[in-house]
Structure 1
Amino acid sequence: MSGLIHTNVRSSIMSQNSRSISGFGGPELDILTDAELVKLVNDLKEQINILGIENEILEKTIMRLEPSLMHGVYQAFEYATKMSSNTSLQVGSFIKNQASKFGLIDTFISPSRMLTSPSRVSTKRVDSAPKLGGTVVFGSGPRINVLERAELVSVEMDVLVANLNKIRNKGAKQHALLKAQLEEIGMRVSDIEKANKMFHQEVLVEGWDKIAQRIPAEIWIRFMTEWVKISDSQIGKLRLRTSTLNTQYSKLKGQIKVKAELSESLRPVDFEKLKIENSQCLKLIDHKLQQLGELKKMTGDANLNLTIHKKAMMEQNSYLAKVQSTIKNKEDQTVELDNERDLIQIQADILAQRLNEIRKVRMKYQVPNVMDYVKVKWVVTDLKHAIKMLDNRKHIQQIALTSINRKLQTMSTIAAKSDIAAKSETSYKKE
């Protein structure tokens, strides 16, 4: 219910309403054109919306500052409604319909009557108007200007923003709590599923005895024992983690409490002291930054020297690697040369032995006489001629032997045939 209105807009709205109501069905409404009437209705709607917002702000302000004042407002509203219905039935019904439609009933209630009892509304006005934030809301005092309205609106906006922040923080905490609960439920579900799979695999599948057609009790007891051990270990870990978190929570809570107490006990002197300490810290930071710059310069020079020495070291390492590879090649060549030297030494020993033998043979060898050589050569020639003659004679004798053998073979063949013929004749004769 919007039960309060501003005094500065009351007179204009009342004059317009009285003009429209008093001229209901009269000559003034007949004088207005359709466009003017539509414009008047639109203006009234806009003013009603504005007044509704202002009434809502004022009502919230009163409820926030002094809620007991709203009791008199409600009574004044009821009394004004009864009085308006008794004065004129037609006008009252029209006002009631329009008020129920556009919230216009509040515009016909005098602010001086809102905080009075129903018995004193017709006789007195309230002269002393209560002030809300330095502004007068009703009575014969000064009206509320635009700045005071803006002040009320800003105060209500600050209150709404503060409430909204509280609700937002509460919603964030609730959201975090629900998220944590969902994570906990997810962990429980995963643990239950894992336990179910383990139970199904170890007890129902692997523990099934095909011969007895049942699950032995030992498997079930062993599974439960192992599961209890695993659960105890997990519970111990969770208890340790919970105790750690509780310790951290109590520590953080104590720090927050100390900070809150310090914030309550702070004075301007503390801020001045803090400002002096901050200035000293800034000077120290500048000094440290200067030292840091110098250290960076020194570090840059050191890095440059390090790079130069590193480059020289890399060159030395490359030269050392080349020297080491050369030494290794020379060693390999030395081993090969040693092997070749051994082989050459063996061959030299063999050749030296042969040379010694040749020398021995040469020392023992004597050159014969020429005539003796000629005689020996003549004897050798005669022997060769004799050997050749003997070979020819042997060849001739072999030919003669071959012909004699052929003749003997022929003769033996003929004799064999004659013997066979004689044997056949004798056997024929006997028969």
Structure 2
Amino acid sequence: MTSTGEGPSATGSSSISANTSQISLADQFARSTEEEIQFALDEIRNENDKLEKETGILTKYLKRVDPKDIQTQIKGLEASPVQQDVVRVHKRRSRSRTGSTERLLKLTTEQKCDIAQREHDELREEINKFKHETEKILDTYRATREEAEIRLAEMKKSSYEFNRDIVLGAKNLRTGRVVAERVTRYFEDKMRSRKALIEKLRLKNSTLKVQKKKLQLQLKQKEEMGEVLHEVDFKQLRIENNQYLEKIDERNQELLKLKHSSGNTLQVLNTYKKKLNNLTMESNRLKLEISQRNELLTKIDKETELVEKEREKAESINANLRRQLQDYIVPEVLDYVQVRADLYELTKTMKTWERKVDIAQMELQKYQKQWLMMREHNRTVNPWATMEQHAAL
């Protein structure tokens, strides 16, 4: 960052040094190669860019700071080196246009840092101010958008209700026209509901105004009592907020670990539930099979008792037959022949009588048919006699 000053001696010395520097630079350029010249040119360009930035920052600082204010501060307080240099620079800049009395003045590194820090703080304040303004504008736009969305939803609802109650519901089925009384009643109800809403919002607005006055009064009392929060308090609150955020992150990590362990536990529990379900089904199947086997065993026991009784009965019959067999006396051969002859004669007599019975049955059927035919003939010839017979019966 540079500025100008006065003095004829300084002008002469500066012109001589400028001539000698130009001669030395010409000698250097003559002796240097193209790469060295390009490198030196890049360095000069970088230095010029740096000086342009520093000059721009100093220009902004000088435009923002009024020299009258600086002079009053110098009179009342000890002026800082930066302010003194700025005053000198400003005074000398007003007279730097003479051309013959120019002298370069440079700021120290501390002064440059001080000016850059002040410009940085000023730029930060402007950014914060712009940020607050843009946030207000965004809040206004959000509120406008929300209001428009609410209005649109209300209009859609009103349109739906009007179509439902008036366009479709208020038509006369006979004429097909809308009944005027229902339309009038609909708009009267709407106006009544609007008035009720206006009254409700008015009461709410008055309540909010009262709350606002109370809060303003409390804020004024706190300002008078010195209880207003300062920047240090906000920093302390910010530090505490960061600490609480770190604690919340730790708790969230612990919660994630617990959720992970809970998920693993739930998976193990589901596995054991499936195993328990399979074992329960197997147990029920085995119980059913055991009950069936018990029923079968009971049935087998009953059948065994029956078989045992039949065996005892067969043994008793067998014993009786054995006793009869032991007591049996074989007859003589002639007696056996005589019995067989009697059996043959009896069988022959039985067959003869059976044949006679068959013949008699055939004769009986024949006579029954003849009797039936005679009765039918008599009924057709003399029906009155038949009726008398029935009457007598």
TM-score by length of 2: 0.44
The structure with more helix, counted as a fraction of residues: 2
Question: Taking CA–CA contacts closer than 8 Å with sequence separation of 6 or more, which of the two structures ends up with the larger relative contact order?
Answer: 2
